């Protein structure tokens, strides 16, 4: 039996999170709207009206192109892609064809197995989204709300080698999009859509074989699932001596199966030509500088810096760079704290992340600011509070918004470091425990722990344990 290699390229459509659509002033997000309410003459293709490009779309597109290491074209063009479909009101989609916003580029995908897959970017362009259609018996219902929502289409080279790699690509892309703040990247809401081109070839071959295209997959799990199904099907076909046809397939999520789309629907000559209703898009150096002025450190770069600079374990660094707010939070807290970054990491990974998950907040929305977290850590280090008080303070700060110090003061949570107060209790304990004193003095010095415990109990945990031990030793060794 032949061994097969899987060859996958992904075509992603990324919905940019601008306020308005790409060519008209309707709002971009219609998630909660009734059908055909967030529309205007421009996005519904009424006769005579004209597109006007949204500046923010270009800016977000440039950020993505930069992050993908693409070459940004100082002059790019919009083109018309002509085809008939009821969700495409003008009968053409305004897209970019041969001279799009950016060319080339790549994204490195670290795989859980330890290797890194470099995925090349073949195409990166801006375009408008089409509407939504759904079936009802032998009718199709059309909603134009989504028409004109800004998209970046990004197509990878045939560089992915398994369904799992495809899934990892999407996970990393999603992370990046959110990191850049250019897309909500929620696949379930269609902010990030993916078509997969899948083919197989005998291991060792470097030819590309006939591929199929899987459309309409709306979660990372489904992408993985659909590709796995399709790879199995292609292997079955080839093993049975059949040919793989260049079909377009539709993933039916409910039935967990692939359906073939009508070949006529996919047979197309789009007759691209320059969109005469728009001028060439010229980026000036000044505008480009402005857009890229706050370009952030990217997640993978930051992860390796966290490892080298803060000596974090890879596991911690990966989690702490999963999301930009969390990662910024961590770094601010480390700076404010000025102690061991691993301690900050521990608090974040164990406690703060749980708080985030439970509340649904992002790190920048916490009332427990990085400065407050640093304050708590410092108090623990200074022995002003003990570790468990420190942990309980996290919730208290978050729910009240008050500073840790003021909570410690008003609630009396601070450790007693007053020599005389502790001395009084220690003297009392020593006087009341003649047997234990004798045993200690006979040489069982480990009993000091018991004495300290007694003092702590007496003082309901608020004594500074180091000081208590010191005083006890003094009294016992007299």
Partner 1 sequence: MELCDRSAHKLLELLRSKQVSAEEIVRSSLQRIAAVDGRPGSLESGEETEKDRQSVHAFISVAAEQALDQAKSIDRQLAKGEPVGLLAGIPFSAKDVFCVKDTYTTAASKILANFKAPYTSTAVERLQKQGAIMLGKVNLDEFTYGSSNESTAFQPCPRNPWDTSRVPGGSSGGSTASVAAGEVPLSLGTDTAGSIRQPAAFCGVVGVKPTYGRVSRYGIIAFASSLDCPGPIARDITDAALMLQAIAGADPRDSTAANVPVPDYLATLEQGVKGKRIGLSPDYFQISYMDAESGEIHQKPVQEDIRAAVYHAAEVLQRMGAEIIEDVPMPNTRYGIPAFFVISRVEAASNLHRYDGVKYGYRTPSAEDDLRVMYRKTRNEAFGLQPKLRILMGMYVSAAQYSEQYYNRALKVRALLRRDFDQIFDPLGKYRLDALLTPTTPTTAFPIGAIYGDSVLMQYADQFTVTANHAGIPGISLPGGIAADGLPVGVQLLGPDYSEHTLLQMGRSLEIGTQDEAWRSQRPALTLRW
Partner 2 sequence: MSEEITPEIFNHLVTLAALELDEKQAAYLRRELNQQLKAIHELEAIPLDADLKVTTHGVSYNLANSPALREDTWLPHPNPDEILAQAPQVDEQYIIVPDIPHEKLD
Binding site for partner 1 (CB under 8 A): 41, 44-53, 80, 82, 84, 86, 89-92, 138, 140, 142, 264, 269, 271, 273, 276-279
For 116, the token pair is: 């890194």
Backbone angles phi, psi at 156, to 5 degrees: -90, 160
Cα-Cα-Cα-Cα dihedral sign, residues 186, 192, 193, 197? negative
Under the binding rule (CB under 8 A), the answer on residue 309 touching partner 2 is no
Residue 260 interacting partner from partner 1, partner 2, none (CB closer than 5 to 8 Å by kind): partner 2
- Residue 163 CB, nearest distance to partner 2 (Å)? 18
Under the binding rule (CB under 8 A), the answer on residue 347 touching partner 2 is no
Residue 469 interacting partner from partner 2, partner 1, none (CB closer than 5 to 8 Å by kind): none
Under the binding rule (CB under 8 A), the answer on residue 432 touching partner 2 is no
Q: Using the structure block, give the residue that is written with the tokens 């770069």.
A: 301
Q: How far is CA 424 from CA 165, 179, 430, 475, in A?
A: 67, 57, 10, 11
Contact assessment for residue 66 and residue 180, using Cβ atoms and an 8 Å cutoff: no
- Sole binder of partner 2 in the list 7, 10, 14, 26 (CB under 8 A): 26
For 6, the token pair is: 């899987």
- Residue 50 CB, nearest distance to partner 1 (Å)? 5
- Sole binder of partner 2 in the list 118, 259, 428, 444 (CB under 8 A): 259
**How many CB atoms within 10 Å of residue 150?**
27
Residues contacting 388, CB < 8 A, separation 6+: none
- Residue 117 CB, nearest distance to partner 2 (Å)? 29
How many angstroms separate the CA atoms of 30 and 33, rounded? 5
Residue 18 interacting partner from partner 2, partner 1, none (CB closer than 5 to 8 Å by kind): partner 2
- Residue 41 CB, nearest distance to partner 1 (Å)? 5
Contact assessment for residue 197 and residue 203, using Cβ atoms and an 8 Å cutoff: no
Nearer to partner 2, 46 or 382 (CB): 46
Residue 80 interacting partner from partner 1, partner 2, none (CB closer than 5 to 8 Å by kind): partner 1
Nearer to partner 2, 46 or 292 (CB): 46
Strands 212-217 and 248-252: parallel
Residue 282 interacting partner from partner 2, partner 1, none (CB closer than 5 to 8 Å by kind): partner 2
How many angstroms separate the CA atoms of 312 and 204, rounded? 39
Cα-Cα-Cα-Cα dihedral sign, residues 237, 239, 242, 245? positive
Query: Which of positions 272-301 make contact with partner 2 (CB under 8 A)?
Result: 274-276, 279-280, 282, 284
How many angstroms separate the CA atoms of 219 and 228, rounded? 14
Burial of 318 per CB tally in 10 Å (0-12, 13-18, 19+): middle
Q: Using the structure block, give the residue that is written with the tokens 């990491």.
A: 345
H/E segment holding residue 15? strand 4-15
Under the binding rule (CB under 8 A), the answer on residue 427 touching partner 2 is no
Residue 92 interacting partner from partner 1, partner 2, none (CB closer than 5 to 8 Å by kind): partner 1
- Sole binder of partner 2 in the list 236, 260, 354, 428 (CB under 8 A): 260
Instruction: Compute how many residues bind partner 2; rule: CB under 8 A.
Output: 53
Query: Which of positions 134-163 make contact with partner 2 (CB under 8 A)?
Result: 135, 137-144
How many angstroms separate the CA atoms of 452 and 108, rounded? 55
Binding site for partner 2 (CB under 8 A): 18-20, 25-27, 34-41, 44, 46, 52-58, 77, 84, 86, 135, 137-144, 247, 249-250, 257-262, 265, 269, 274-276, 279-280, 282, 284
């Amino acid at each position: 039996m032949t061994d097969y290699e899987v060859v996958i390229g992904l075509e992603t459509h990324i919905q940019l999170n601008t306020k308005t659509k790409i060519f008209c002033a309707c709002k971009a997000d219609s998630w909660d709207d009734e059908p055909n309410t967030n529309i205007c003459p421009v996005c519904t293709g009424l006769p005579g009206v004209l597109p006007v490009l949204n500046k923010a779309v270009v800016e977000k597109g440039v950020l993505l192109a930069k992050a993908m290491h693409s070459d940004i074209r100082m002059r790019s063009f919009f083109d018309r892609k002509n085809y008939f479909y009821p969700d495409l009101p003008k009968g053409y989609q305004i897209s970019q064809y041969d001279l799009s916003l950016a060319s080339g580029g790549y994204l490195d995908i670290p795989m859980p197995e330890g290797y890194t897959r470099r995925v090349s970017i073949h195409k990166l362009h801006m375009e408008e989204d089409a509407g939504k259609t759904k079936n009802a018996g032998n009718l199709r219902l059309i909603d134009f709300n989504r028409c004109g929502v800004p998209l970046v289409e990004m197509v990878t080279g045939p560089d992915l080698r398994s369904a799992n790699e495809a899934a990892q690509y999407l996970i990393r892309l999603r992370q990046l999009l959110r990191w850049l703040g250019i897309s909500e990247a929620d696949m379930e809401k269609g902010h990030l859509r993916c078509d997969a081109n899948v083919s197989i070839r005998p291991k060792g071959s470097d030819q590309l074989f006939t591929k199929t295209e899987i459309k309409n997959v709306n979660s990372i799990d489904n992408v993985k699932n659909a590709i796995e199904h399709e790879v199995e099907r292609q292997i079955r076909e080839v093993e049975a001596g059949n040919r793989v046809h260049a079909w377009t397939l539709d993933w039916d999520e409910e039935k967990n199966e692939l359906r073939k789309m009508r070949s006529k629907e996919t047979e197309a000559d789009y007759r691209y030509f320059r969109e005469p209703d728009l001028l060439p898009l010229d980026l000036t150096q000044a505008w480009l500088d402005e857009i890229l002025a706050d370009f952030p450190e990217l997640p993978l770069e930051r992860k390796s810096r966290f490892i080298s600079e803060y000596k974090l374990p890879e596991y911690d660094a990966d989690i702490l760079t999963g999301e930009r707010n969390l990662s910024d939070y961590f770094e601010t807290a480390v700076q404010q704290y000025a102690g061991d970054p691993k301690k900050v990491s521990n608090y974040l990974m164990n406690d703060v992340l749980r708080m985030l998950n439970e509340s649904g907040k992002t790190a920048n929305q916490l009332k427990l600011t990085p400065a407050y977290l640093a304050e708590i850590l410092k108090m623990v280090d200074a022995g002003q509070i003990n570790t468990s008080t420190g942990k309980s303070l996290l919730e208290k700060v978050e729910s009240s918004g008050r500073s840790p110090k003021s909570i410690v003061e008003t609630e009396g949570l601070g450790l007693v470091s007053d020599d005389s107060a502790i001395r009084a209790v220690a003297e009392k304990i020593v006087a009341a425990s003649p047997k234990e004193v004798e045993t200690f003095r006979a040489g069982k010095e480990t009993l000091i722990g018991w004495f300290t415990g007694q003092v702590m109990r007496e003082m309901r945990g608020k004594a500074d344990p180091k000081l208590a031990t010191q005083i006890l030793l003094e009294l016992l060794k007299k």
